[in-house]
Structures are given as C-alpha cells and as structure tokens.
Structure 1
Amino acid sequence: MTTTGRLVSWGPLTVRLMLAQISVLLAGLAIVLLTAVLAGPTMFYDELIDAGHVEEATGLGLEHLEDALRPVSLIALGVGAVPALCIAGLLSFYLYRTIGRSLASFTAAARQVAAGHYDVRIPSAGLGPEFDSLAASFNDMAAKLNAVDATRRQMLADLAHEMRTPLANLKGHLEGIEDGVVPLDERTTGILHAQITRLERLARDIRALTRAEEGLLRLQPTTVDMAHLAQQAVAAVEPLAAQKNITVAAAGVTAAPAVLDGERMGQVLGNLIENALRHTPPRGRVTVHTDLDPVSVTVTVTDTGDGIAAEALPHVFQRFYRAEAGRESDHGGSGLGLAISKALVEAQGGTLEATSPGRGQGAAFRVRLPRHTATS
C-alpha cells in the first residue's frame, strides 16, 4: 500500500518487532515481580541472620516479614516499572518506526529500479553500519544498472546509425537493378558484396565487444612470448602493407614471456596494426616495439599517419567514435576495433592507452600487461 506515492512506514514487520520487544519487557517485569514477592522476604530473612541479627529476625518472623515486604515491593516495582515500561515502549516505537521507514524507502527504490528508473538512490538511514552497507550496495547496483542501460541505449543508437549507410546502399542498388537503371554486372555485385561484408563485420564486432565488456570471455592463459606474437602479427599484415606502400616492422626485445591468452592478444595486436595501416599514408611506417621489465611486458604500435587531436584522445576507445566524420567508413573500419582491443586487454588485467603529438604527426597505442598473472 502507498500513500501519496510513498510506502506506509508502519508495516506488519515493525508491528511484530515492537510487540516482540514489549513481550520481552513484560516477561522480564513478571519475573522480577514474582522474584520480589515470593523470594524477597525469605532472602531478607536469611540476610538478617547472616548479618548477626538473629534475635530481630526471630522476633519478626518470616510471616510478618512477608506481610510487610510484599506490599512495599509491589508498590516500589509498580512505581518504577510503569514509567520504565512506557519509556521502553516509546523507544521501541521510535526505533521500529525508523526501521519501517528505512525498509519502506528500500521497497520504493526497488520498485523504481524495476520500473526502469535507475537514477534512484537511498540515503543513509543512520541505523548502523549494516543498513549503511545495504544502502551502499543498493546504490552501487542502481548505478551499474544505470550505466548498463545508458550503454545499451547508446549502443542501439550507434548501431542504427552504422547500419543506415550499408542498408541504404543495398536498397538503392537493388531498386536500381529492379528499375533497370543499374546493370547487374561485376561492379554492382562487388558493391553489394562489400556492403553485406560490412554488415557481417559490424555484427561480429558488436558481439565480440559485448562479450568482452560483460566478462563473458573464457580466457585461456598460458605462457606466451609477446615478442614472437608481435612478429607474427607484423608478418600477417605485410602483404597488405606492401600493397599500400607502407613499411611495417617489429622491434625491441627478442623474447618477452608473459602469462596471457595468446589468441586474444593476437587479435588485439592485429586490430592495432590494421588501425595504424588504415591511417598511415603511402611511404609511411608502422612499428611494433616490444619492451620487458620484471613485472610487465609492453607492446607499442606506432605509426607516422594521420595522428589524433588532443581533444579526441580521451574518446578514441569509445564505440564508433570518429575524430573526423566518416573517417572509419572511408578507411573500411567498423569503428569498434579499438574498443574491442581495450576490452580484451583489460579482461587480462592490462591497460591500453593512446598518445599522439597531434594531427598529421602519427600516433602510438601502448599495451601494458602483467607478466605473471591473468584473469579468467
């Protein structure tokens, strides 16, 4: 039940808690009362004898003591117990009403999160570290759900934007073929095939990025020589680099062993080198340099290409980010290669950063990985 959009703070749980507390108080009072009435005179009588007042105790007699002490004890207990019971009841009421309000705020916040309002936050109730920890955990969960939802919305918007161009090209050529305006020749089929390939690559990259960012990848860490891996990645792109008249070479140490997933790191290096080739003009150079220290291995892919403006550097690893409109489309990229590479590196406990002196002055992408650990 709600009142003006808020849950009623006085719920069944708090009623049960307060009744249980009052029951404990009443039980304690009853035990004290019975003890004072039944055992009090006898204890007082024994105490007189132990203190050396045998004559006074014998003269008074136990029955006389019982008759004298019983009403006095009842009056004293009544005078003290009634206010104590009232104070305890008021304190219990206040405490459990506060707990009820806190639980009501949790319930209301949970319902808002269930309705898709992930910006809701629960303030500290001031009821101790347990409630504060619960509130902090809930707020952390809501913040992560909010981030996931924002990412999902941005992903859908970006995906729709990326798919628009190849779909429009496919539709335009198919309509042209149907109307007889565009001939169905080798050139047209090549264009159609290229657009379909672009959509396939986009779907594949989206899936890879999602799995990496959500921690769904199953890594298989083994001892891998990163220097050898870099040489393999360079060898794989040498034919493409030769076609573009770009020099590509591996440099640095000749052996750099590290515990990591060799297949995933090969994918990362391939993405970084291909990205460098896309943005390096003819007669340019791409270098893959491997360094080693006692705790980490570093691979840096440096090019002499387009470079990256200072304001664009913080965004280069975002999905579909382009420093210049249409840049990746013109170069044949899906706009996801760098984002995938960063997610794969971070999944293995490493870092990936980009640096550039500025536009037209080349760029460097540095992968740093721990040598002896890998996450799974």
Structure 2
Amino acid sequence: MSAAVSDRTRAWSWSWSPLTVRLMLAQTAVLAIGLIIVVITAVLVGPSMFYHELVETGHADAATGLVHLEDAFRSVSLTALTIGGLPALYIAGMLTFYLYRTIGRSLTSFSTAAQEVAAGNYDVRVTSTSLGPEFDSLAGSFNDMAARLDAVDTTRRQMLADLAHEMRTPLASLKGHLEGIEDGVVEWDERTTGILYAQIARLERLARDIRHLTAAEEGMTHLQLTLQDPGQLAAQAAAAVQQDAAAQNISVTAINTGMEVPPVLVDRERMGQVLGNLLENALRHTPSGGAVTVRTDHTPEAVTLTVADTGEGIDPQHLPHVFARFYRAHHGREAHRGGSGLGLAISKSLVEAQGGTLEATSDGPGRGTSFRIRLPRHTPPG
C-alpha cells in the first residue's frame, strides 16, 4: 500500500515538475493571448471594418441602417468564440500537458541515468521514448556511452589487478634478496647483483609497456605516416634480432614473394616496433633449432606481413585472447621468459592506429604460430 502511494506521489510530483509547469504556463499564455486577439478582432474591429466596407462600396444608406446591428454582431461573435474557443483552449492545454509530461518523463529518465553513471553504475540504460528519431538517437548515444564507460572501467579494474599480479613477482624477489643480504643469508656478489638488476629491468619494461599501450589505445601516439617498402621493413626487423636468434640457435629469414610489393603508408618507427615485438615473441616460443620467417605478400586490396614460427603453437581456445593485456597461454612457463605480457596488445593497437589489422593463427600446440599484419594498399593520387 505504502509503495503504491509512494509511486503515485512520485509520479504526481514528477508530472508537475518545475519544467512541466513552466512549459505549460508558457503554452497556455500563448493560446490565451491568441484567443484574446481573435476576440478583439471579431468583436471590436470586425463591425467597424464591415461598416467602412459598405460605405466604400457605395452602400452608405444600408450601412447607416446596419449600425444598430453592431451590438448584435458583437454578441453573436463573442458567443461563438466562447463556445468554440474555450473547448479548443482546454483541448490544447491537455495536449500540451500530455506532450510536456512525456518530454518530462524522458528528461527525468536521462537525468536519473546520468546520475547513476556519475555514481559508477554503468549498467544503466535508457529506453526509447517514442518521441521521434531525435530522442531515439539521443537514447542510443547515451547507451553507447554507458557501454563504453562500462568496458573502460572493466578494463581498468582488470588491468590494475593484472598489473598488481605482474609486479608482485619482481618485487617479492627484490625484497627477498635484500632481506637475505641484510640478514647475512645471501651474499652480495655478482650473481645477486645480476638478479636484482634483472628484476629492476623487468619493472622498468613493464612501466614502459604500460605507457606505450595506454598511448596507443587512447590515440595519443603521434604517427608520422610515410610511404615505406614493406619488404625493407621486414628485412630490417629480421636483421635486428639475428644476434639473439643465433644465440638461441634459431634461424630468422625475411621472405619476399618475388613480385614487386607496392609501398604502404605507415609510421616507419612504429611498424618497426610492431615487427620487433612479434619477432621477440616468436623467439620466446620457438625452441632451439627452430625457424622464424617474416613473409611479405600482397593482394589487390592489401599488403600483408606475416611473422611465422615453428614453435609451441597456440591452442584454439587461447587464440581469441592472445592480444589481451597480460594474457598468457602457458601460465606455468612464461614468467622467466622476459615478456611483460603487453607486447601483442601494443602491436595490435599500433597496427590499428595505422589503418591495418593484426590477427593470429595456429594449427595447435607444437605446430607453430603465425601473426599476420594486413595493411591497406596505398592508391597514388590521380
């Protein structure tokens, strides 16, 4: 009972919100002024105009005889306007009330939803008000905004949790070794120094990758797009990792299709960073004696750069997640490999910022992995 009363009270107070009252008073004032003008015209101005019209047309005698009918004309006109005008004013007022009540309901729902979003509840949605495409478009835009904020907030919370997890291991290692040195359990020698520097380097790399990823995903990366030879980019990226690959007994080869590959409009430094990330990832997951290739190819629509390895491969269930932050398909063996878990996410964001796409394919565990960069072909002007 109390809930029903509360709902009725809330509905009544909402229906007569200040905005609704002001709009209704303004509309009623317009209608009333219009009706008054019509009455003045019909009752006061109308008979005089009719009289002068008779005089002008040469019926002065008839006009003089009709003067006594002016009062009757005014009375009839006023009665007719009263009978027709008051109901019209009432109907117009009711329609105005209904319209502004509906608009007020829509504005109230938007206001309530905005307050919910401001309070951190991103699950709120605004329903269609059936007031036309403008309000429907506004509702759709608001819902899209809420959904994006929800996704951003979810990503932020997940990223903070993942970041805390990633930092826990190097920090625990640093703390353990420093406490061991302090207690005299661990000797301050070259091995201990190397371990401490390695953990510090890991934290620095994590901070750097977080900064790069944030800049790429928020569109803050400044790109200098120029026409570049994709084959040359692939060869330079392969040459840059040759020394590390040789130390692991892994061959790295840049392969061209043999056909002339058209230039692509990219940022040379950023695309080098992407290829470097993909090659480093391939080396981490390829055993000694394996091979990594960078293949350049093109179609009428796009130029592709494919980094393929003969390494561990990826289970199909993990493929959709390989570009997620901190995602690792082999949780038990990743920590010691030096990756921050952000290289693939950074690469995907940088490729997309340059108008391309990056996708991963694998035939399964033990059968290698391929990462394919697809860049739109540059169309020369004219």
TM-score range, shorter chain: over 0.9
- Residue 369 of structure 1 corresponds to which residue in structure 2? 375
CA contact (8 A) 2:55 2:63 kept: no
- Residue 19 of structure 1 corresponds to which residue in structure 2? 25
CA drift at 1:10: 3.0
- Residue 119 of structure 2 corresponds to which residue in structure 1? 115
Q: Find out whether 1:197 has 2:197 as its counterpart.
A: no
- Residue 102 of structure 1 corresponds to which residue in structure 2? 106
Q: TM-score, normalised by structure 2?
A: 0.91
Could you tell me how far apart the structure 2 residues matched to 1:256 and 1:183 are?
Answer: 59
CA contact (8 A) 1:256 1:290 kept: no
CA contact (8 A) 2:51 2:67 kept: no
CA drift at 1:256: 4.0
Could you tell me how far apart the structure 2 residues matched to 1:259 and 1:10 are?
Answer: 60
- Residue 32 of structure 1 corresponds to which residue in structure 2? 38
Could you tell me how far apart the structure 1 residues matched to 2:334 and 2:236 are?
Answer: 25
CA drift at 1:365: 0.3
Could you tell me how far apart the structure 2 residues matched to 1:352 and 1:193 are?
Answer: 34
Q: Find out whether 1:266 has 2:266 as its counterpart.
A: no
- Of 33-42 and 360-369, more deviation after overlay is shown by 33-42
- Residue 356 of structure 2 corresponds to which residue in structure 1? 350
Could you tell me how far apart the structure 2 residues matched to 1:346 and 1:239 are?
Answer: 30
Paired residue secondary structure (1:223): strand
CA contact (8 A) 1:277 1:286 kept: yes
- Consecutive unaligned residues of structure 1, counting only runs of 5 or more, are none
- Residue 178 of structure 2 corresponds to which residue in structure 1? 174
Q: Find out whether 1:124 has 2:128 as its counterpart.
A: yes
Paired residue secondary structure (2:241): helix
- Equivalenced residue count is 369
Paired residue secondary structure (1:8): helix
CA contact (8 A) 2:313 2:362 kept: yes
**Of 291, 297, 319, the match for 1:291:** 297
CA drift at 1:46: 7.1
Could you tell me how far apart the structure 1 residues matched to 2:309 and 2:63 are?
Answer: 113
CA drift at 1:325: 1.2
CA drift at 1:293: 3.1
Alignment of 1:205-216 (within 5 A): 205-216=209-220
- Residue 250 of structure 2 corresponds to which residue in structure 1? 246
CA contact (8 A) 1:286 1:303 kept: yes
CA contact (8 A) 1:212 1:344 kept: yes
- Residue 281 of structure 1 corresponds to which residue in structure 2? 287
- Residue 345 of structure 2 corresponds to which residue in structure 1? 339
CA drift at 1:43: 5.1
- How large is the RMSD of aligned CA atoms in angstroms? 2.2
Sequence identity (%): 69
**Of 153, 156, 168, the match for 1:152:** 156
- Consecutive unaligned residues of structure 2, counting only runs of 5 or more, are 1-5
Instruction: Give, as a single letter, the amino acid of the residue that structure 2 aligns with 1:74.
Output: L
Could you tell me how far apart the structure 1 residues matched to 2:71 and 2:108 are?
Answer: 54
Could you tell me how far apart the structure 1 residues matched to 2:63 and 2:359 are?
Answer: 98
Paired residue secondary structure (1:61): helix
Could you tell me how far apart the structure 1 residues matched to 2:360 and 2:66 are?
Answer: 96
- Of 250-259 and 341-350, more deviation after overlay is shown by 250-259
Instruction: Give, as a single letter, the amino acid of the residue that structure 2 aligns with 1:114.
Output: A
CA drift at 1:292: 2.2
CA drift at 1:110: 1.2
Q: Provide, for residues 36-69 of structure 1, a one-character-per-residue CA deviation record: whole Å limited to 9, x for no partner.
A: 11233345557889999x59x8177231231221
Instruction: Give, as a single letter, the amino acid of the residue that structure 1 aligns with 2:227.
Output: T
Could you tell me how far apart the structure 1 residues matched to 2:332 and 2:338 are?
Answer: 10
Q: TM-score, normalised by structure 1?
A: 0.93
Paired residue secondary structure (2:375): strand
- Of 230-239 and 255-264, more deviation after overlay is shown by 255-264
CA contact (8 A) 2:216 2:353 kept: yes
CA contact (8 A) 2:225 2:266 kept: yes
Q: Provide, for residues 243-297 of structure 1, a one-character-per-residue CA deviation record: whole Å limited to 9, x for no partner.
A: 1101110001465411110100000000001101110011101000001234321
Instruction: Give, as a single letter, the amino acid of the residue that structure 2 aligns with 1:280.
Output: T
**Of 139, 162, 166, the match for 1:162:** 166
**Of 62, 72, 88, the match for 2:76:** 72
CA contact (8 A) 2:358 2:374 kept: yes
Instruction: Give, as a single letter, the amino acid of the residue that structure 1 aligns with 2:347.
Output: S
Could you tell me how far apart the structure 1 residues matched to 2:350 and 2:16 are?
Answer: 51
Could you tell me how far apart the structure 1 residues matched to 2:16 and 2:336 are?
Answer: 64
Could you tell me how far apart the structure 2 residues matched to 1:371 and 1:59 are?
Answer: 89
CA contact (8 A) 1:296 1:369 kept: yes
Paired residue secondary structure (2:121): coil
- Residue 188 of structure 2 corresponds to which residue in structure 1? 184
In structure 2, do the counterparts of structure 1 residues 50 and 241 end up closer, same or farther at CA, with 3 Å as the change threshold?
same
Paired residue secondary structure (1:327): coil
CA contact (8 A) 2:51 2:63 kept: no
CA contact (8 A) 1:41 1:62 kept: no
Q: Find out whether 1:10 has 2:16 as its counterpart.
A: yes
CA drift at 1:11: 2.5
Could you tell me how far apart the structure 2 residues matched to 1:163 and 1:291 are?
Answer: 40
